[in-house]
């Protein structure tokens, strides 16, 4: 099954006048949550990535705002049904970039269906009251299970009273029976600017398909590879009716070639089959993919991206000598 992460909702506001630059406004945080969630969406939430600075004042205010908001949004929520975490226990406070690691943490938690614990947690702030609330602090790693689709909220608050909250959901698309039993032959292509990049991309895609793809539509895989990226002069192409053969082809250099950098238009005036398209592709022709797939709606999937060549730029051993010579010259001026 493939994984997509969906942004379900987003809200932002400002606390307005406060006692100091860092003083949080609980009413503004409550209103933020009421703006971000509908009651139906709130009933699906099972994890919230808090701003969680670990401060004596900020954390109780944040928990109090969550408690008040969810008492309105989902008053019948079960105790301990929403886990609370904060990535700052791992990486500290990254100031203006603090929301980015929180976002990355939730994406990977959704992907792996696992909720990482709040590390370095020894004692709960006495001003935080979780009794009679749906919230529970994560003190150990947990498998992320829910009777609803996995939904998480992410809070991030800034200096001066700015507040933001993002709601994300794990979406799993189940292939239909006709996708699982298809026998049609499809064209799969991959290309890069250099031979080295193409080799890395082939290896990367082979590992990904073995680990992640499972029994998915060959049509959608072919369509994504062929239409969702630019095509370069170092190319590979294979026509196959099953995923295992394509994965094997990714490790076989026989399927690669270098084409003329001047791309030529294809010679097909109507529909073309996969074999004809493969030959045209390896000859460097610019294909009109609609003639291969028609005008039907086909789902695109997330696949590994481009592998860039890595070229290091380091000072060589002669540079320090040259710098010493310059130093001696300047002393004599």
DSSP 238-305: EEESSHHHHHHHHT-GGGEEE--SS-EE---SS---HHHHHHHHHTTEE--THHHHTT----------
Compute the CA torsion angle 217, 235, 278, 202 (nearest 10 deg): -30
Residue 253 is part of which domain span? Answer: 184-293
Token pair 């992907």 is found at 111
Q: Are 159 and 20 within one domain?
A: yes
pLDDT of residue 215: 56
Q: Are 245 and 119 within one domain?
A: no
Distance CA(67)–CA(130), nearest Å, equals: 8
In a domain, 325, yes or no: no
Decide the pairing of beta strands 151-157 and 162-173.
antiparallel
Q: Are 168 and 237 within one domain?
A: no
Q: What is the pTM of this model?
A: 0.60
Taking the mean position of all CA atoms in its chain, how far away is CA 181? Answer: 30
Distance CA(238)–CA(228), nearest Å, equals: 17
pLDDT of residue 177: 39
Q: Are 93 and 211 within one domain?
A: no
pLDDT of residue 179: 45
- Element (DSSP H or E) covering residue 218: helix 218-227
Q: Over the chain (333 residues), what is each successive 10-residue block's mean pLDDT?
A: 78 86 84 96 97 88 96 95 94 90 95 93 88 94 93 92 95 52 79 92 93 76 92 92 90 66 52 86 87 80 89 64 56 56
Q: Are 214 and 195 within one domain?
A: yes
Number of domains in the chain: 2
Distance CA(262)–CA(233), nearest Å, equals: 9
Decide the pairing of beta strands 135-137 and 82-85.
parallel
pLDDT of residue 293: 85
pLDDT of residue 327: 56
In a domain, 179, yes or no: no
Q: Are 248 and 134 within one domain?
A: no
In a domain, 322, yes or no: no
Q: Are 47 and 167 within one domain?
A: yes
Longest dimension (CA), the chain: 84
Distance CA(84)–CA(65), nearest Å, equals: 13
Compute the CA torsion angle 262, 267, 269, 272 (nearest 10 deg): -100
Decide the pairing of beta strands 142-143 and 114-115.
antiparallel
């Amino acid at each position: 099954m493939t994984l997509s992460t969906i942004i379900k909702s987003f809200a932002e506001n400002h606390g307005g006048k406060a006692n100091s630059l860092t003083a949080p406004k609980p009413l503004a945080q409550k209103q933020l949550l009421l703006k971000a969630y509908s009651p139906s969406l709130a009933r699906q939430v099972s994890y919230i990535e808090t701003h969680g600075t670990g401060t004596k004042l900020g954390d109780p205010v944040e928990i109090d705002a969550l408690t008040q908001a969810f008492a309105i949004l989902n008053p019948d929520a079960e105790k301990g049904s929403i886990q609370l975490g904060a990535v700052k226990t791992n990486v500290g406070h990254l100031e203006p970039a603090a929301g980015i690691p929180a976002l990355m943490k939730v994406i990977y938690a959704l992907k792996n269906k696992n909720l990482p614990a709040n590390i370095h947690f020894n004692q709960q702030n006495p001003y935080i009251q979780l009794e009679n609330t749906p919230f529970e602090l994560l003190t150990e790693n947990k498998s992320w299970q829910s009777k609803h689709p996995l939904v998480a909220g992410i809070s991030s608050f800034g200096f001066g009273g700015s507040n933001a909250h993002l709601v994300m959901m794990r979406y799993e698309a189940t292939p239909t029976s006709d996708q699982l039993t298809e026998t049609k032959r499809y064209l799969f292509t991959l290309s890069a600017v250099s031979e080295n990049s193409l080799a890395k991309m082939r290896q990367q895609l082979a590992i990904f398909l073995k680990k992640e793809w499972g029994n998915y539509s060959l049509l959608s895989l072919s369509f994504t590879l062929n239409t969702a990226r630019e095509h370069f002069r170092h190319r590979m192409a294979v026509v196959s009716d099953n995923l295992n053969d394509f994965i094997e082809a990714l490790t076989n250099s026989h399927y690669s070639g270098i084409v003329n950098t001047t791309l030529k238009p294809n010679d097909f005036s109507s529909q073309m089959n996969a074999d004809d398209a493969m030959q045209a592709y390896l000859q460097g022709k610019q294909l009109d993919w609609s003639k291969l797939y028609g005008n039907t709606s086909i789902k695109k999937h997330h696949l590994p991206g481009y592998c860039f060549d890595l070229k290091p730029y380091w000072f060589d051993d002669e540079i320090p000598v040259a710098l010493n010579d310059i130093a001696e010259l300047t002393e004599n001026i």
